[in-house]
Amino acid sequence: MNRRGFIALVGGAAAAWPLAAWGQQANRVRSIGALFAVPENNPEGQVWLSAFVQSLASLGWTSGGNVRIETRWTGGDANKVKAYAAELVALKPDIILAAGSVGVSALHKETRAIPIVAAQIVDPVNSGLVASLAHPGGNITGFMNFEDAIGGKWLATLKDVAPGIDRVIVMLNPNNLSHGRLSRTIETSALSLGIGITAATVRSASEIERVFNEFAPNSQIGMIVLPDTVTVSNANRIIALAAQHRLPAVYAFRYFTAAGGLVSYGSDQADLYRRAAFYVDRILRGTNPADLPVEVPTKFELVINLKTAKAMGLTVPPTVLIRADEVIE
């Protein structure tokens, strides 16, 4: 797929829909900008885009020219996020699909007029992106990746898979507004499990290896890798270091586990994009994004990489394997 190429979706004659709030003609070809936080060659990113396109098709946005998508893939690069956000806004699309809070924030700085639907947003209220979840009030709405309570679930999942751990390193970015609250949730849960918690800050790729070298020699240690552009864009490096040091780690996204990580628990990312298509459809037909509530995830998945567990000398209890949505062998 050409990064800058237009993607023609499924066709059909456009109906005489009402004018959108920003006053464009309803029967013309609609344009959608899409800003992704992963590289273009990331398999999961292509799954998300396909889920979005297929969901749009089911809503009548079919091939034949009634909609087109202009994509940008940032790969977690902060400079690309800023540049591509400005580039997409300059194209004046009818609506923009955005992945992740960083990309949404960059778009928010560029426009308060073009509707933005976020598929993987975190804490949009405290980030100042929306007035409230129920009534966003501006040009941004969408679907949250997770809520703070999931931090306790990550810790419990890690303890289930690696019961011998007595301390957990939380890899976090202090510049990420959600990480402070997630860490507090993890610390609260750790008290009841008798587990010690140590924060390990990573603001850039260069700090990731330092974290492993500092903490990994202790065989009773596990790790929670909090989702962030730094950890996502360095996923393969983190997975490789965890394997090298035989350090059990839990991740927020399935693609970490598919690439060799031990275990992941989090919202079904493809489902978020399918649901985002419904919001895009409603906005293109005239609904104001300010009136569409920001929704929390409803579908979660537990994925365990059994091959990785065996390489680390871990025997995953059958009760845990039964709960898994997917077991990679």
What residue ranges do the domains of the chain occupy? 6-145+268-298, 150-267+301-328
Q: How far apart are CA 90 and CA 103, in angstroms?
A: 15
Residues 6+ apart with CB under 8 A from 295: 133, 142, 143, 144, 275
Question: 6-145+268-298 and 150-267+301-328: same fold?
Answer: yes
Mean pLDDT by groups of 10 residues along the chain of 329 residues: 39 34 60 92 89 95 82 89 96 95 93 96 90 96 93 96 94 88 93 93 90 80 92 91 95 94 95 96 96 94 97 94 95
pTM of full prediction above 0.75: yes
Interatomic CA distance for residues 39 and 24, integer angstroms: 32
CB proximity list for 83: less than 8 A, separation 6 or greater = none
Rounded-to-integer distance, Cα 249 and Cα 224, Å:
6
145 Cα distance to chain centroid: 6
31 conformational bin, left if phi > 0, alpha if psi -120 to 50, beta if neither? beta
Q: What is the topology classification, in CATH, of domain 6-145+268-298? A: Rossmann fold (3.40.50)
CA distances, 232 to each of 194, 229, 253 (Å): 29, 5, 9
Q: In the CATH scheme, what is the homologous superfamily, with its name and number, of domain 150-267+301-328? A: Response regulator (3.40.50.2300)
- Do 253 and 232 meet the contact criterion of CB atoms below 8 Å apart? yes
**Whole-number Å distance between alpha carbons of 227 and 210:** 18
* pLDDT, position 64: 53
End-to-end distance of the chain based on CA atoms, in angstroms? Answer: 30
Tokens describing residue 277:
């298509």
Cβ pair 176, 226 in contact under 8 A? yes
- For the chain, give the number of residues: 329
| pLDDT given for residue 126 in this prediction | 86
The DSSP line for 218-231 is: -TTEEEEE---HHH
Are 295 and 275 spatial neighbours (Cβ–Cβ below 8 Å)?
Answer: yes
Amino acid letter for position 271 = D
Phi first, then psi, for residue 87 (nearest 5°) are: -65, -45
pLDDT of residue 42: 82
